[in-house]
């Protein structure tokens, strides 16, 4: 199935859609992942993956644009939320060169950036190895994607 938005709803107790991400979730402070919740997953969902991407980052590499802040997968299909600083799932590689979550930190004076927290619903439970990049993950899961949606947060360095 091609990538397409579904009716799934993604929310966070840390920030509302298109609102500011608290500094504690940024690389300037505690750098902990925000709590996320979702409802309305497509029928037949057996697994999830979560991605955070900043398309406003002025970077192009390996045929992609922006900056990947979080790649998380191997999440079970009965899950409907992640707590702050979650230890669930398998961590993939972010563009900081680490595994796991790396919070917002746009270049100083670069203005507001938008951060897309995607939740992807899959038709089977994955058992992928840790450390996959976003492109590697998408190649693996695209044939099994049932639906996806996102929560968008903003962040600006002073």
Q: Is residue 87 part of a domain?
A: yes
Please give the residue range of the domain that contains residue 121.
Answer: 9-155
Q: Is residue 118 part of a domain?
A: yes
Distance between CA atoms of residues 130 and 77, nearest Å? 19
Q: Is residue 39 part of a domain?
A: yes
Q: Max Cα separation, the chain? A: 45
CATH code assigned at 121:
3.90.280.10
What's the N-to-C CA distance of the chain in angstroms? 41
Domain total of the chain? 1
Q: Is residue 2 part of a domain?
A: no
Give the pLDDT of residue 4: 67
Query: Which secondary structure element, helix H or strand E, spans residue 19, and what is its range?
Result: strand 19-20
Q: Is residue 116 part of a domain?
A: yes
Q: What is the pLDDT along the chain (158 residues), one digit of tens a residue?
A: 456 678 899 999 999 999 999 999 999 999 999 999 999 999 999 999 999 999 988 766 666 778 999 999 999 999 999 999 999 999 999 999 999 999 999 988 889 999 999 999 999 999 999 999 999 999 999 999 999 999 999 999 87
Distance between CA atoms of residues 102 and 124, nearest Å? 27
Q: Is residue 89 part of a domain?
A: yes
Three-class DSSP category at 67: strand
Burial of 152 (0-12, 13-18, 19+ CB in 10 A): middle
Give the pLDDT of residue 44: 94
């Amino acid at each position: 199935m091609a990538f397409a938005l579904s009716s799934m709803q993604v929310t966070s107790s840390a920030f509302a859609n298109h609102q500011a991400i608290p500094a504690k979730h940024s690389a300037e402070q505690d750098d902990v992942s925000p709590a996320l919740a979702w409802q309305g997953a497509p029928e037949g969902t057996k697994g999830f993956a979560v991605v955070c991407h900043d398309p406003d980052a002025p970077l192009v590499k390996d045929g992609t644009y922006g900056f990947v802040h979080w790649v998380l997968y191997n999440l079970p299909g009965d899950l409907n939320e992640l707590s702050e600083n979650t230890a669930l799932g398998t961590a993939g590689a972010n563009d900081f060169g680490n595994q796991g979550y790396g919070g917002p930190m746009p270049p100083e004076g670069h203005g507001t950036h938008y951060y897309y927290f995607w939740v992807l619903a899959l038709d089977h439970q994955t058992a992928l190895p840790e450390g996959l990049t976003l492109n590697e993950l998408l190649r693996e899961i695209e044939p099994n994607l049932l639906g996806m949606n996102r929560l968008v947060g903003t962040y600006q360095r002073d």
